[in-house]
Amino acid sequence: MRIEVQGAVDPRFRRVQDVFEENFGRRAEVGASVCAWVDGQKVVDLWGGLADVRTGRPWEEDTLGFLFSSTKGLTALAMLMLADRGKLDHDAPVAEYWPEFARNGKEAITVRQLLNHRSGLCAIDRPLTLDDLEDPARVAPALEAQEPLWEPGTHQGYCGVSFGIYVAELFRRIEGRTIGRFLAEEVSAPLGADIHLGLPPEAEERVATVYPPRRRDRILRGLPRLVWGRGVEGRVFRAFADKSSRTARAFANPAELGPKALRNVNTPRVHRMELPWMNGIANARSLATVYATLAGVASSEVQLVVPELLEEVQRRQSWQVDRVLRKPMGFSLGFVKEESHLFSPYPETFGHPGAGGCVGFADPPRRLAFGYVMNRMDWHLRSPRCLALCHAVYDCL
């Protein structure tokens, strides 16, 4: 079945539309949107496919998708805005803002170490449930009791889940508002961006259904990588299979949102919650608009953060073989700094990818911002659908 792609694209960036269409025919895309800003102009704004396969509901202009870890980029932005307003010192101990945090080897952990995944807090040992996550008072004791898995500051390890849980509590103690409410009032509203961390009930009908990778891909491609793969994906898959590994522990708790509980992300309950590491909900246009503002190329005159802070984010603050994801990567105040052959060939680029392939990023020196949101998950660590679109954008510059 041929997928009708809708939207607009600058003729100079027609290659991006070609790749977007190829993703449906060659790479099992179900539904998606993609958007790019360059030099103050929105040069790509496309959408297509299905938001729900069972009902045949099409992916429309205002369809929203689940962001998974791309949510962390919005969380990092909220923290950066606190620093911009003089409410947060990145080099201060977390315990300065959260005294009860100073237990079990966490006394000297700084905000910068927490944001750059250098705290050693990549796992939370005390089991948490969705009920717990709806009540910060029930979560905080588990965070305060946790011991780092290594000496803070000595190594980097991606805090796939715990990042958002720790930062949510820290943010609330500093600002008073939750991250979701802050983003709604200080980012989405001024920019007119359709981004939610805590979805309002009236927007539920616009959310696309998330689908797992195709069964045949998991069996014919994913399983051989798990057993025999020598590359990054093989190492990561085998680490997930070892429940005692740092990789598995980083994503295992809460079990109701773990790798084997994908069905829960399609529930209104999870959509309404504020989970600052995974359940942001948006479309590519809105995600790209946020990063266009950070890159200084949006049409809006809204300034979220002063240029001096954004220059700091463009530099790598942490870079090494990550102890959880087992590949070279880095962070700057919570934003991902990836290898140059992936999303962007330039080290100044910052943003955050998410499971399945969604991503938002800014490349200020190239005056570029990009967003991609989809509903088909991918067994790859970095989705070929997303990477093909990113490479097409840079090819067109």
The span from the CA of 267 to the CA of 277, in Å, is 17
The span from the CA of 159 to the CA of 378, in Å, is 20
Cis peptide before 276 (omega within 30 of 0): no
Length of the chain: 397
Beta-carbon-side half-sphere exposure of residue 255 (alpha carbons within 13 Å): 4
The span from the CA of 31 to the CA of 29, in Å, is 6
Report residue 50: phi and psi, to 5°: -115, 135
SS3 65: strand
The span from the CA of 103 to the CA of 181, in Å, is 29
SS3 282: strand
Query: Which tokens go with 285?
Result: 């246009």
Dihedral angle of Cα 128, 210, 178, 368, to the nearest 10 degrees: 130
* Chain-centroid distance, C-alpha 198: 15
Catalytically annotated residues: 69
Amino acid at 123: A
* Bridge partners, 352 (sequence order): 360
